[in-house]
Structure 1
Amino acid sequence: VKVVKYDEMQCLISGLNFLLNRVPDEVFGYEGGMQSFADPHPYLLVNVGSGISFLRCISADKFERVMGSAIGGATFWGLVRSMTKVRDYDEAMKLAMAGNSDSVNMTVGDIYGGDYPSFSLPRNMTASFFGKVRSLTPLSLLIESPSNAVLFMVSNNIGQLTYLTAQKYGIEKIYFSGNFLRGNEIAMQALHRAITFWSGGKMRSCFLRHEGHFGALGAFLLHNGFTGEDIA
């Protein structure tokens, strides 16, 4: 068996561009409904794995990595594992899904007694992750809620970095990919809300039906001689 190596990000972009141009219902929004664009470019691809890569895709054969972050899926897994006895990633995710971060996170309402209308901050917006833990006893702290708070914290951080990156390059279409998002309702909701809030609804947060297959598809296309124009 001969193993041929291709660049990871090139494969990812090639596979994604192929599906964006060939599969009508590939893209969906968090609140439901398929998203379609006459031309998918330019867009920002946020690939969330162990860490995060932010890829500015200008055309079918032109893209660049404009930023990265070390706070990603492995951060969530590492923190939850250090706080609990869970030794499996899927179990950690189930634990987080069952928790309620409101019991450990401090909100705008906790500080001001309600909304902060001067800056359009709703009472349920998180003001400080794990801000309530200082006043809780260890025995009253269930492991599900801190795990949920970690998941929400990582997701919210990704959302804010995504908005700032998209704003810098004047991009309104944002695609999220990566194993961290597969079946992760909390993360998708947090990303959608963050992008919508900070952009005032001008930016579109989009998710992908065939998440997990872009790299393999891109490698197949590149190995068989397909170029950016062929893929588009």
Structure 2
Amino acid sequence: MATAGGGACKFAPLFRDALRASRRVELEPVREMRAMVDGLLVLAPPSSTGMDSTGGTDQCFQQDIFTINEDGTTASRPWPDPLFPLILVIMGTGVSILRVDSGAPGDFVRVGGTACGGGTFLGLARLLTSATSFEQALDMAAEGNASNADKLVSDIYGDEGCSNLGLPGNLTASNFGKLGEMNCPRCDEKDLARALLQMVTQQSVLLGSAYARMAGCINRVFFAGGFVDEKNQIARTVRQGMCSVLL
């Protein structure tokens, strides 16, 4: 049985005890980051990874990457050509950012990350709202308005100032910035959940973008992990169309 993640180490003795009756079952830990990279490369067309030694074509490969538009609809994207180097942002409890340099086994490096991830969203959501689970917090966020808590660029400069600066007025200037004002508008827990979800997502987008610029691959940023799965449509749209999502 192949296992990955923190639980593969922390709970390994429990698994062994539970499976002791079947002597043919053994745990085989795998390195999580290596598994994520390998999974991406398995989905990619062989010619993109340099592993197409059969002389065949890529037509049998299904389209596995897409972006999420602002209206929540999906839009298929072709695999980048060239594919490498690429940035892979893995969003789970925390966030790890990998630079993958080729399709060769192990040819990647963790270039950074942040502790502001899915665990942050759930922990603060339970503190700030009545949500007790990730799903409940997402449901709240879906009905909230982050601008009731976040200070936007337009709140600081006004519409004319934003035009002079060349910045969109709806750009977040300060996460939860309005909560520090004496005349702060009334926020409910749904607004707080939405603002929190956007804050966590924006951190990873900004970091992923920065590392991609350093690597010269701004058009080759992939997001993966439990935080951006099918249930979390909002986090996917917050990425503002700058990256591809890996299923």
Given the two structures, how large is their TM-score scaled by the length of structure 1? 0.79
Which structure: larger Rg?
Answer: 2
Shift of 1:90: 0.7
Tell me if 1:187 matches 2:235.
Answer: yes
Q: SS at 1:93's partner residue?
A: helix
Where does structure 1 differ by over 6 angstroms across 4 or more consecutive aligned residues? 136-139
After superposition, give the CA deviation of every residue in 1:98-155 in whole Å (9 maximum; x if it has no partner): 1011111111211222152333111111111112223478994310001100001111
Q: SS at 1:59's partner residue?
A: coil
In 2, are the aligned partners of 1:29 and 1:35 still within 8 Å (CA)? no
Measure, in 2, the Cα distance between the counterparts of 1:79 and 1:43: 32
Gaps of 5+ in 2: 1-24, 47-60, 70-74
Tell me if 1:102 matches 2:147.
Answer: yes
Measure, in 1, the Cα distance between the counterparts of 2:143 and 2:31: 38
Measure, in 1, the Cα distance between the counterparts of 2:208 and 2:185: 37
Measure, in 2, the Cα distance between the counterparts of 1:192 and 1:71: 19
Which residue in 2 is equivalent to 1:7? 31
Q: Closer, same or farther in 2 for the Cα pair 1:103/1:59, shift >3 Å?
A: same
Q: SS at 2:221's partner residue?
A: strand
Instruction: Flag the structure with higher helix content.
Output: 1
Tell me if 1:47 matches 2:94.
Answer: no
Q: Which has the higher contact order (CA 8 A, sep 6+)?
A: 1
CA-based RMSD of the aligned residues comes to 2.0
Shift of 1:42: 1.8
In 2, are the aligned partners of 1:35 and 1:206 still within 8 Å (CA)? no
Which residue in 1 is equivalent to 2:246? 208
Tell me if 1:174 matches 2:198.
Answer: no
Tell me if 1:150 matches 2:196.
Answer: yes
Q: Write out aligned runs for 1:10-89 (5 A).
A: 10-21=34-45, 23-31=61-69, 32-61=75-104, 62-89=107-134
In 1, are the aligned partners of 2:98 and 2:110 still within 8 Å (CA)? yes
In 2, are the aligned partners of 1:24 and 1:36 still within 8 Å (CA)? no
Measure, in 2, the Cα distance between the counterparts of 1:169 and 1:208: 20
> How many equivalent pairs are there?
199
Given the two structures, how large is their TM-score scaled by the length of structure 2? 0.74
Q: Closer, same or farther in 2 for the Cα pair 1:48/1:85, shift >3 Å?
A: same
